[in-house]
Structure 1
């Protein structure tokens, strides 16, 4: 009976999350994903995307004239290396909760359409000697597009802009990590939640400065998550008249964590995954596919599976189990 109630609660929460989401037009927008390149057709876009998924430099930090980091009142501000047509999105903001030492730092990447930062997690970990930095992903929090009801520019039926936004999130995160290492933090870890787990996973796969990565509510193929997930039905409705899932997998191949399992399975990187058995947003089979890929590549991820849904992971008692598991992992 309790689990039936939990499933209904997750569904109600998903319905509330649909407010403001609209079916939009399918757009290629190749120049956003691959600036300065001549890509005219969907086939050319997919070919270029598959090339990018094997290009080690695709998620490298992008150059920016202004490298300055401003720190005041527990806030960090710095310019993004990727310029977009939304001025607010071109400045990266993060909240820092100091722990009092420079041994360990954790950078947190929140979920899609997050409305606030994770104050409880930051406070819990900082009291245990881990400095927590909660970065705003593109088009969220201080970086939100004026007038938007949700972060539709971060994930949408605009294929090129979605690649640009995820790439921007990865590059921003890597710039922040480099700054933290320069400040003397010996061990820098990353934590990603839902969509943020794709960003955290891509960073860990491409940046040797990351020693530990924790992925909450994650999967391998972002295309499959969008096509099958409860939270992204409006995006599928926009895509389905134009392309199928196989097409989307090719177009978003740089965003598929399964393409980087050998990098994630490197010996100097520890991996944790916290999953929800009743997840309807990131289906369990997508998580299992990533686990198999990591295991086959020689990785040994620490895995916690909780009998809850995507949204109810944030409720008692599941959030306590997840939090304690995270503390043990980072310690």
Structure 2
């Protein structure tokens, strides 16, 4: 796909995305939080204190089981519905050492269809167990908001931090529960916001066997302030005289390039779009450099290229997983 078409498709997607926006200001600036932010330790901030019990509701589907899972979120947001972590799963009847693929969806997604269309059938054919966790304030966790994802990233500076922390710790809980109760390999795959969240998870979670991050952001404050994706949030912040420098400082704990992943770089695959208008290739490259340049694929497309390149994304991802698993067992 050439640059002009890539940019056009992204602009169309952004126009559609921005048709939904908060009806009222989301801005909140907790001065007590700002005063204490310098004292926060990253490892402590994202710590998983106790692994919650995960419950499954499953039905037989020929050679597999499918259904939902849920557990109490280790991080409390104060929203009772949001504080139940949940997701969908598709489990193989494979008796060999299991491979668990956790696939984290993007911001403001209102269904899992496009993520399933990329990976689900191909991973089921490989005998993988596939899990789609629901990010905070998305899908049925978004009952108090206007649209899916409205409260995960917003001009409420502190709630955004808590929500991203919640996402990171919940995924850590799912990974550790699978390792302790099911064994096998855990593959973490994130797409768009899911890639950004997965990158953060890798800084604090050692039980990841393979990480694949697709069309990911690195510096959330940069993307909100300097790309079209965050224009309404930026307007809300500026309306309240909240500067980019303040946002950078408050959200510094949300940057993946300020830490190192706990897994070897040989087990990491980063995928970006060369003409991405949602999250810049420049920001994605900063993470790649900060992480000592793990394997990276740069597709000739924009963010919408996720759909147009879904077959190639699935192939590159599964080929990398298979090679990583094989090398890890030698």
User: Normalization by structure 2: what TM-score?
Assistant: 0.86
Q: Quote the RMSD (CA, aligned, Å).
A: 2.1
Gaps of 5+ in 2: 60-66, 323-330
Cα separation, 1, equivalents of 2:304 and 2:203: 27
Give the 4+ runs in structure 1 shifted more than 4 A: none
Shift, 1:62, TM fit: 4.8
In 2 relative to 1, CA 273–267 (structure 1 residues): closer, same or farther, beyond 3 Å?
closer
Shift, 1:63, TM fit: 5.1
Q: How many corresponding residue pairs?
A: 308
User: Which residue pairs with 1:249 in the alignment?
Assistant: 248
Instruction: Please tell me whether the aligned partners of residues 188 and 211 of structure 2 are also in contact (alpha carbons under 8 angstroms).
Output: yes
In 2 relative to 1, CA 147–267 (structure 1 residues): closer, same or farther, beyond 3 Å?
closer
User: Which residue pairs with 1:322 in the alignment?
Assistant: 313
Alignment of 1:1-331 (within 5 A): 3-22=3-22, 24-29=25-30, 39=32, 42=34, 44=35, 48-52=36-40, 54-62=41-49, 67-73=53-59, 74-101=67-94, 102-117=97-112, 118-120=115-117, 121-146=119-144, 148-241=146-239, 242-260=241-259, 262-264=260-262, 266-267=263-264, 270-295=267-292, 300-315=293-308, 318-331=309-322
In 2 relative to 1, CA 147–240 (structure 1 residues): closer, same or farther, beyond 3 Å?
closer
What SS class does the counterpart of residue 81 from structure 2 fall into? helix
Cα separation, 1, equivalents of 2:297 and 2:48: 32
Cα separation, 2, equivalents of 1:82 and 1:236: 27
Instruction: Please tell me whether the aligned partners of residues 110 and 192 of structure 1 are also in contact (alpha carbons under 8 angstroms).
Output: yes
* Partner deviation per Cα, 1:98-130 (whole Å, 9 max, x = no partner): 233342111111100112112221221121122
In 2 relative to 1, CA 107–314 (structure 1 residues): closer, same or farther, beyond 3 Å?
same
User: Normalization by structure 1: what TM-score?
Assistant: 0.86
Shift, 1:160, TM fit: 0.6
Shift, 1:88, TM fit: 1.6
Cα separation, 2, equivalents of 1:123 and 1:183: 25
* Partner deviation per Cα, 1:168-187 (whole Å, 9 max, x = no partner): 11111111111111232321
Instruction: Please tell me whether the aligned partners of residues 97 and 123 of structure 1 are also in contact (alpha carbons under 8 angstroms).
Output: no
Gaps of 5+ in 1: 31-38
